[in-house]
């Protein structure tokens, strides 16, 4: 019997997530949206690609939550995307009400599921989902670090003209302008990038990574990234559904790890069938630690605006 994954939101991110997961074949997918016909049409279109991509996964589009019942994973992509000139922080109050309602329905119909939050501002929305759901912290996870890290890896591979498969990197912190790429832990085929690139080039790549989402927003003019975010979600779903126990950078609720208490912050975690099975603590330099704490404070400011009590 296949697992069941529900995607909340049938926009570009949600639909791309649904497609990537359905093509894997190990889970049936339910696509939910408030716009009548949108999730139904997209799900039917994807379903008809099954014979070509050799996937027997069933896809269902719906405007109600009844068909999401007993999902193993609920991916929340619902919300308003960033527009040119809009920071992730600007999205806070608008998306707060949307995520609150979505999370309530997730809990009502799938009380034992694992929640993956994609909606921006991501760390704050993950904290809201945890607050509303009252799930244990291992079952509410934010997709952020994988996306930030894959941008870092992509830019390093482009600069060095090497395969992306051989590039590994770590990005910590909130999903926004205060994220903390860690160049000293980035490697190419096991070789530290600090031995392959001069400091000024590394700094340029770090800066482009931090502004990676905004770069895409400015190019698209309307909307934001969705192919890479969907790929990041699919990697998380793989690790959970297949119990792969991969070490992946995700937004996790910290309770003292890295000296941070009561906040979602991007850190490396072990993802398995129970969700976050371990938070991996890296020994940081004083400068890295200070940058991570600064990033956490930026997240805390958003939480204070939401007034979660």
Please state, in angstroms and rounded to a whole number, the distance separating the CA atoms of residues 2 and 9.
22
- Residue 220, judged by CB atoms within 10 A of its CB (0-12, 13-18, 19+), counts as middle
Catalytically active residues are 175
Pairing between strand 73-76 and 27-32?
unpaired
For 194, residues 6+ apart whose C-beta sits below 8 A from its C-beta are 183, 184, 202
Q: How far, CA to CA in Å, does 198 sit from each of 150, 180, 187, 204, 294?
A: 21, 19, 14, 10, 26
Please state, in angstroms and rounded to a whole number, the distance separating the CA atoms of residues 85 and 93.
17
Nearest to 305 by CA among 86, 92, 91, 82: 92
């Amino acid at each position: 019997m296949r697992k069941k994954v529900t995607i909340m939101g049938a926009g570009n991110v949600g639909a791309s997530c649904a497609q990537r997961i359905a093509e894997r074949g190990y889970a049936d997918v339910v696509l939910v949206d408030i716009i009548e016909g949108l999730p139904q049409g997209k799900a039917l279109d994807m379903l008809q690609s099954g014979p070509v991509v050799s996937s027997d996964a069933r896809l269902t589009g719906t405007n109600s939550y009844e068909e999401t019942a007993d999902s193993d994973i609920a991916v929340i992509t619902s919300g308003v995307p960033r527009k040119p000139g809009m920071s992730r922080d600007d999205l806070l109050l608008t998306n707060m009400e949307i995520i609150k309602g979505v999370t309530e329905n997730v809990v009502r119909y799938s009380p034992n599921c694992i929640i993956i939050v994609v909606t921006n501002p991501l760390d704050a929305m993950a904290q809201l989902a945890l607050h509303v759901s009252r799930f244990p912290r291992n079952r509410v996870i934010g997709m952020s670090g994988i996306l930030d890290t894959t941008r870092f890896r992509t830019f390093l591979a482009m600069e060095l003209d090497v395969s992306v498969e051989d590039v590994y990197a770590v990005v910590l912190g909130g999903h926004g302008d205060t994220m903390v790429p860690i160049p000293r832990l980035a490697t190419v085929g096991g070789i530290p990038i600090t031995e392959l690139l001069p400091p000024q080039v590394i700094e340029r790549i770090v800066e482009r990574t931090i502004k990676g989402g905004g770069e895409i927003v400015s190019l698209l003019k309307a909307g934001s990234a969705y192919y890479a975010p969907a790929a990041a979600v699919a990697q998380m779903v793989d690790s959970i559904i297949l119990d792969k126990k991969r070490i992946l950078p995700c937004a996790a609720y910290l309770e003292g790890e890295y000296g941070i208490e009561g906040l979602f912050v991007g850190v490396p975690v072990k993802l398995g069938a129970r969700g976050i099975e371990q938070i991996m603590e890296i020994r940081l330099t004083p400068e890295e630690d200070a940058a991570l704490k600064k990033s956490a404070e930026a997240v805390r400011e958003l939480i204070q605006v939401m007034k979660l009590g």
